[in-house]
Amino acid sequence: MINNKIATLVAQYNHDMVAFRRDLHKHPELPFEEVRTTERIAQELDKLGIHYKRTEPTGIIAEIKGGKPGKTILLRADIDALPVKELNQTIDYKSTIDGKMHACGHDSHTAMLLTAAKVLNDIKQQIAGNIRFVFQPAEEIAQGAKAMIKQGVLEGIDNVFGMHIWSQTPVNKISCIVGPCFASADLLTIKFKGKGGHGSMPHDTVDAVMVASAFVMNVQSIVSREVDPLEPAVVTIGRMEVGTRFNVIAENAVLEGTVRCFNLDVREKIVLAIKRYAGQVAAMYRATAEVDYVYGTLPVINEQRSALLAQSIIKQAFGESYLYQERPTTGGEDFSYYIENIPGTFVLLGSGNKTKDTQWAHHHGCFNIDEEAMAQGAELYAQYAWAYLNQDEF
């Protein structure tokens, strides 16, 4: 199933891969602003003679045609950084841009996929089919995948594979579970309008603070009393803006939050319940409510055959001990849009190592990766593409 030459080639390119990742880490770019990153990827593809096209406003779609006819597989990496201040002080590749940082590992994803492209380009005459490499912008705002899809990235694709470096999983462990692994991730904004007035005359007002507070306290009943307890779901109100002065009763309140779940039917039930709660709480206090619900990512649900293929590759390429069963996370991933209608799977590549101080949570200013994991990631990208395209049962 695996190609033994792939591991040798990855080792050959490992030094350059780490150097490329560190270069990106020093120059982070926010979603849809990844101009330098896109150019750096293009420069490397030009050296390899790999055909590619730039997407708008940033990002790249590249493709290698194998020496024999066959299917087409898509390998995806995200390329954007975060508006996070880097707190790592001892590394010589620290972000050079204050307030911006690769705090989620997308720099390593890009470097690993680029290395896989180098490897697969070296053995392309042995490949039955085609490999599309997607360097996707704007994953952190859940807009990049949809932008790439609109620009034709899924045309002619038979299978999709992606991965995420994962600090919660120990290094030398790789997880690929069958079924849900990331939740849907939606945004909601609720505006309550009451009637403002002087704090000494509450009887002449409709207090938006009371309305917003009642809603926040009651909305958790949706999960605890309306959602099947065997179906994971999260409703979080993360921001509340209300009031202007200590002795003024607030007229307006604005709440912002997120909803996470793995089941789309549960998602719709929660949406309807939030609107019902907001409307009825507002009515109880003689206020009005306006709910703006924005559907974010879909849940990432690994297709069974694809996930089992990845598991087999992990065991054969690295050993039985590397296969790990990470629990599903209620984090969001716009990789979900690629596999909404096409079979595919998503892998978590362990990078947690307390000895190297790489156990920090994603999006933290101290986040970093154990770079030894990158060789495994690059090889897994390449081995999965090789195995999928060169086996009869798919």
pLDDT at 319 (0 to 100): 97
Supply the CATH classification number for the domain 4-183+299-389.
3.40.630.10
CA gap 146, 154 in Å, rounded: 11
Q: Residue 344 carries which side chain, given as an amino acid letter?
A: G
Output the average pLDDT for the chain.
97
Bridge partners (DSSP) of residue 368 are none
* Mean pLDDT, range 5-34, rounded to an integer: 98
Q: Report the run of H or E that residue 114 belongs to, with start and end.
A: helix 106-122
How confident is the model over 326-365, as pLDDT tens digits? Answer: 999 999 999 999 999 999 999 999 999 999 999 999 999 9
Six token digits for residue 99: 């307030």
Q: Of 69, 37, 41, 65, nearest to 53 (Cα)?
A: 41
CA dist., res. 172 & res. 109, Å (int): 16
| Cβ(210)–Cβ(250) below 8 Å | no
Report whether 305 contacts 155 (CB < 8 A): no
CATH number at 184-297: 3.30.70.360
**Nearest to 378, CA basis, from 120, 79, 44:** 120
pLDDT at 177: 97
Confidence of residue 394 (pLDDT cuts 50, 70, 90): low
My answer on whether omega of the bond before 57 falls inside 30° of 0, hence cis, is yes
Name which of 164, 143, 115 is nearest 55 in CA terms. Answer: 143
| Residue 57 amino acid letter | P
Contact of 61 with 119, CB cutoff 8 Å: no
Residues linked to residue 160 through DSSP beta bridges, in sequence order = 74, 344
Show contacts of 87-96: CB within 8 Å, 24+ apart: 87/364, 87/365, 87/366, 88/365, 88/366, 88/368, 91/368, 93/22, 93/23, 93/25, 93/26, 94/25, 94/26, 95/25, 95/26, 95/27, 95/28, 96/26, 96/27
Is there a contact between 183 and 331 (Cβ–Cβ < 8 Å)?
yes
Per residue in 140-165, pLDDT (tens digit) is 999 999 999 999 999 999 999 999 99
pLDDT at 287 over 70: yes
Domain ranges within the chain, ordered by starting residue: 4-183+299-389, 184-297
**pLDDT value at residue 1:** 85
How far apart CA 324 and CA 177 sit, in angstroms, is 9
Q: What is the pLDDT of residue 70?
A: 95
- Strands, E assignment, 84-232: 128-136, 159-170, 174-175, 179-182, 184-193, 197-198
The structure's pTM equals 0.93
Name the strands in the sheet holding 288-297, side by side, starting at the edge strand that comes first in the sequence: 233-242, 252-261, 184-193, 288-297
What is the reported pLDDT for 393?
59
Task: Give the pLDDT confidence of 60-75 residue by residue, as tens digits.
Answer: 999 999 999 999 999 9
pLDDT digits (tens, 9 = 90+) for 62-116: 999 999 999 999 999 999 999 999 999 899 999 999 999 999 999 999 999 999 9
Give the pLDDT confidence score for residue 42 in this predicted structure: 98
Average pLDDT over residues 116-125: 97
